[in-house]
Structures are given as structure tokens and as C-alpha cells.
């Protein structure tokens, strides 16, 4: 699983922005060409470093949303945090052709490769869907038949990231289940509450099927989902979590 | 959280730890000196405050302190008081 992609000294690289995609009013994907990118595993992240004219530097971590197979288009999906230092720049000021510094890939723990098998159960809240999308894109790129489901919580359908692509993946054998916690379109027949234990019981494979579970989102969501899964009888060793808090900035 | 500090997973410390250990430390397994629980660094609890120079890794079993890392210009101070042992994969190293 870990392998060569994580065994090296980290060095800063200069990436060139190739494409910008507005995913929602607050979320933008930044697709970059990174010279000599060493490759990555689905679920890993990068550090992005910005340097101001006066030399002040600040850095943030972002999950990689592109699959390992997209070798020349490294994608980060960034949510704008209103009082943040880095995300307003990345989502509003960055232009195609600009260069930014990044280092990675980083982290070999919260990763999934088709060889790890499944069933693959992904649970996301908000922009926590980004590293999980890298896993689904990797699965699709490899034409893997590992059973996969995504349970995705958003405030509204306008806030749901990768909407069209998730629809398409749904048609390609991924079970995509969305819950909209605050606003629903007319006629919405899906879930309309925060992810809870009974929802997990309905959507997640039973413990006997030993699903590999990846949970990513805000800390309270990750905490409650991981706890409920263990209560439902899932093996804690097969549940991997990635919490993100207000450091996103 | 009211004090601005933050509870994350050990995997959020991957970049900082990789600066010290060179290879990825989040897949390293360690034994907690307090309760004996064995787990991967990435699965432990990480506490850090935004913009702070330090981080604290605590055991997900007993909340005992496993590792403390403090950075200042030119130095990293690493306290490993809470690990009985830490096993780091080195697939490229000679046997």
C-alpha cells in the first residue's frame, strides 16, 4: 500500500495552474501541471505554500482530488473560508498560468488503492468528499469492480461538490447516497438530516461484509460517524478517519 | 473549540513528521507506554492550534501523550515519551 510514493524527503515544487473549475459558489478546483510529479495514492494530500511580497509565508494542507492515473493534472478542490489566509487567494485570485509552490504527496495512512479491495464505503461531509473523490476516480480509471458506496452530506444541492460527476458515477455502479441537511430541491426524495446511526445502518454494508470505511469531514461529523459504526459492530481497524477543522483557511 | 485549538487525526501531522523522519511516519505503528494500545500514528489523536509551532499526539485508547513536536527556526524538538516503541517501515533499506 505505502510503497515508493511516500518514501522520500519532501521538497517544494513549483506547479503551474492549467485549469480552474467552479464546483459550487464557494468551492473551486485548481488543476495543475507539476513538473516531475512523483505520483501519489488516492487519499494523500499536499502542502501549499504562499509567499507574500514582504517574504511572509503561510501554508495549508489540501487533499488531492485527482486520481493517480491523471499524471499531468493534479487537482485540489478548495473551499473558501471567509477569513482564511490561503483559500480566498486560491478560490478568487488565482489565474490559469499562475505558479504556486507545493510539496507532496504526503501521508500514507488515509489512502486507498484498488488492490486494497473492499467493499469500499466512503462517508463524507462537505468538502470532506475531496480525498474520497480521488478514490472513486481511481476506481473508475482502473475499471475496478470493487463494490463502492458514497454517503455524502451537504447543506443543499447547490453546496454538493462534484454533483454531475457523482450522478455519472452512480450510473457506473457506485452507490451514491446524498443527504441534504438544510435545503432540498422540490420533490427531494432522499435523506434530509445529518448522518446518524440509523442512516449508517441503512446505507453501510453490514459488519459481516467487512467493508473498508473512509470517513472525511468536519470533526463532529467524523467523530459521530466513527463512533456509531463501532457501536453497529464494525471493526475499528477497518475505519479510517480524516478530520478537518478550521485550519483550512 | 473555544480556545482555538484543534483535534485532528495523526495523519494531519504527516508533512511535519516527514520533515523529521524522512519516510512517512503516519503508517508507523507504535505502542502506548500508558495503556499498551498499539496503533498507527495516523489513527491517533492530534492536537494543534492554528499557527502554533507545536503539536501533541495522544493515544486514541487512553488519551496519554505519545509525542510532542515543537518547531522553531532552525530546530525541531521531538518528545517521544509516550511510545514504548515505534516501528517505521523502511522498504528500501537493506535488511
pLDDT tens per residue, range B45-79: 988 876 667 889 999 889 999 999 998 888 889 99
The confidence score (pLDDT) of residue A2 equals 43
Q: Is A107 in contact with B10 (Cβ distance < 8 A)?
A: no
Residue B93 domain flag: no
pLDDT tier for residue A9 given thresholds of 50, 70 and 90: confident
> What number of CA atoms fall less than 13 Å from residue A58's CA on the CB side?
15
CA end-to-end distance (rounded Å), chain B: 46
A84 contacts A127 by C-beta, under 8 angstroms:
no
Interface contact A103, partner B, CB < 8 A: yes
pLDDT above 80 for A1: no
SS3 of residue A209 by DSSP = helix
Model confidence at B1, in pLDDT bands (50, 70, 90)?
very low
| Position B94 pLDDT exceeds 80 | no
> What's the farthest any 2 CA atoms get from each other in chain B?
49
Q: Is A101 helix (H, G, I), strand (E, B) or coil?
A: strand
* Mean pLDDT (chain A, rounded): 91
Q: Is the pTM of this model over 0.95?
A: no
Helix axis angle for A163-171 and A129-141, nearest 10°, is: 40
**Distance between A187 CA and the closest CA of chain B, angstroms:** 37
Chain A residues 158-177 with a CB less than 8 Å from chain B: none
Confidence check: pLDDT of B35 > 60: yes
User: At A8, is the pLDDT very low, low, confident or very high (cuts 50, 70, 90)?
Assistant: low
**pLDDT at B10 > cutoff 90:** no
Of A215 and A5, which is predicted with more confidence?
A215
Which of the pair, A190 or B19, is modelled with greater confidence? A190
Per the domain annotation, does B41 fall within a domain?
A: yes
In a domain, B91, yes or no: no
Supply the Cα-derived Rg of chain B in whole angstroms: 13
What's the pLDDT score for residue A85? 83
Q: Do B24 and A107 touch (CB under 8 A)?
A: yes
Count of the separate structural domains present in chain B: 1
Domain residues for B37?
Answer: 3-85
User: For chain B, give me the number of helices (H) and strands (E)?
Assistant: 1, 8
Per the domain annotation, does B34 fall within a domain?
Answer: yes
Residues 6+ apart with CB under 8 A from A90: A28, A30, A48, A76, A78, A100
CB contacts under 8 A, B 20-59 vs A, are: 22-24, 26-27, 40-43, 48, 50
Q: Is A47 on the interface with B (CB under 8 A)?
A: yes
- Residue A165: its pLDDT value, please? 94
Rounded to 10 degrees, the C-alpha dihedral A92/A50/A128/A8 comes to 150
CATH superfamily of A2-106: Translation factors (2.40.30.10)
Interface test with B, best of A7, A230, A244 (most B CBs within 10 A): A7
What pLDDT score does A212 carry? 98
Spell out the long-range contacts of B53-58 with Cβ–Cβ below 8 A and sequence spacing 24 or more: B55/B13, B55/B16, B57/B10, B57/B13, B57/B82, B58/B82
C-alpha distance from A89 to closest chain B C-alpha (Å): 18
Domain A114-243 -> CATH class: alpha beta
CA closest to A2 among chain B residues? B27
Question: Region A64-84: what's the mean pLDDT?
Answer: 92
Q: Where does residue B89 fall: left (phi above 0), alpha (psi -120 to 50 degrees), or beta otherwise?
A: beta
ipTM over the 0.85 cut-off: no
How do the domains of chain A map onto residue ranges?
Answer: 2-106, 114-243
Amino acid at each position: 500500500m505505502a510503497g515508493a510514493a511516500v518514501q522520500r524527503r519532501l521538497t517544494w515544487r513549483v506547479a503551474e495552474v492549467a485549469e480552474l473549475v467552479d464546483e459550487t459558489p464557494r468551492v473551486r478546483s485548481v488543476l495543475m501541471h507539476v513538473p516531475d510529479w512523483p505520483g501519489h495514492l488516492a487519499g494523500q494530500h499536499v502542502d501549499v505554500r504562499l509567499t507574500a511580497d514582504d517574504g511572509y509565508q503561510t501554508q495549508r494542507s489540501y487533499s488531492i482530488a485527482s486520481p493517480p492515473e491523471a499524471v499531468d493534472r493534479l487537482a485540489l478542490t478548495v473551499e473558501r473560508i471567509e477569513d482564511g489566509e490561503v483559500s480566498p487567494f486560491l478560490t478568487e485570485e488565482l489565474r490559469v498560468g499562475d505558479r504556486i509552490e507545493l510539496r507532496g504527496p504526503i501521508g500514507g495512512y488515509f489512502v486507498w488503492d484498488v488492490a486494497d479491495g473492499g467493499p469500499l464505503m466512503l462517508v463524507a461531509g462537505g468538502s470532506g468528499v475531496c480525498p474520497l473523490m480521488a478514490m472513486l476516480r481511481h476506481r473508475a480509471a482502473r475499471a475496478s469492480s470493487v463494490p463502492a458506496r458514497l454517503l455524502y452530506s451537504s447543506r443543499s444541492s447547490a453546496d454538493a461538490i462534484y454533483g454531475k460527476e457523482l450522478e455519472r458515477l452512480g450510473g457506473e455502479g457506485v452507490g451514491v447516497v446524498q443527504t441534504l441537511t438544510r435545503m432540498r430541491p422540490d420533490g427531494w426524495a432522499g435523506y434530509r438530516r445529518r448522518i446518524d446511526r440509523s442512516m449508517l445502518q441503512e446505507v453501510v454494508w453490514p459488519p459481516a461484509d467487512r467493508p473498508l470505511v473512509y470517513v472525511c469531514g468536519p470533526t463532529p461529523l467524523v467523530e459521530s460517524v466513527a463512533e456509531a459504526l463501532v457501536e453497529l459492530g464494525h471493526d475499528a481497524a477497518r475505519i479510517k478517519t480524516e478530520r478537518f477543522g478550521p485550519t483550512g483557511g | 473549540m473555544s480556545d482555538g485549538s484543534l483535534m485532528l487525526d495523526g495523519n494531519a501531522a504527516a508533512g511535519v513528521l516527514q520533515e523529521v523522519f524522512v519516510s512517512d511516519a503516519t503508517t508507523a505503528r507504535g505502542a502506548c507506554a500508558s495503556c499498551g494500545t498499539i496503533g498507527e500514528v495516523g489513527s491517533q489523536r492530534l492536537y494543534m492550534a492554528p499557527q502554533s509551532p507545536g503539536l501533541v499526539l495522544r493515544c486514541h485508547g487512553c488519551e496519554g501523550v505519545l509525542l510532542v513536536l515543537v518547531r522553531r527556526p532552525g530546530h525541531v524538538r521531538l518528545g517521544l515519551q509516550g511510545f514504548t516503541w515505534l516501528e517505521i517501515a523502511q522498504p528500501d533499506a537493506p535488511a
